[in-house]
Amino acid sequence: MSTPESSSVRPALLTADDAARLLRTARRAIYAMVEREQLPAPVRIGRRVLLRQDDLSRWLETKQQRSSHAIASRPGLPPD
């Protein structure tokens, strides 16, 4: 028997189209990034490729932090 709490705490899953809109890229790019393991591990249901919204958000935050750190550490550039 499931409790109301356990049934409502399911991760939001994004389709390749949803993920492409979020990352402002093409659906084909999402599939290519999944194949090259450049995105968080997807959930596969049959032929469908779904990405957990929380995983993708954390991945994007990590990429932004790395990018900010790389820019800040470049010599000759003023800090933000």
Tokens 């990352």 found at: 23
Cβ atoms of 50 and 15 within 8 Å: the answer is yes
Tell me what pLDDT residue 67 has.
76
Domain 12-72 has CATH 1.10.1660: yes
- Partnered with residue 51 across adjacent β-strands are 14
CB count in 10 Å sphere of residue 42:
22
Put simply, whether the predicted model's pTM sits higher than 0.75 gets the answer no
Tell me what pLDDT residue 44 has.
95
φ and ψ at residue 48, rounded to 5 degrees = -75, 140
Burial class (CB in 10 A: 0-12, 13-18, 19+), 31: middle
Q: Which residues of the chain have pLDDT under 50?
A: none
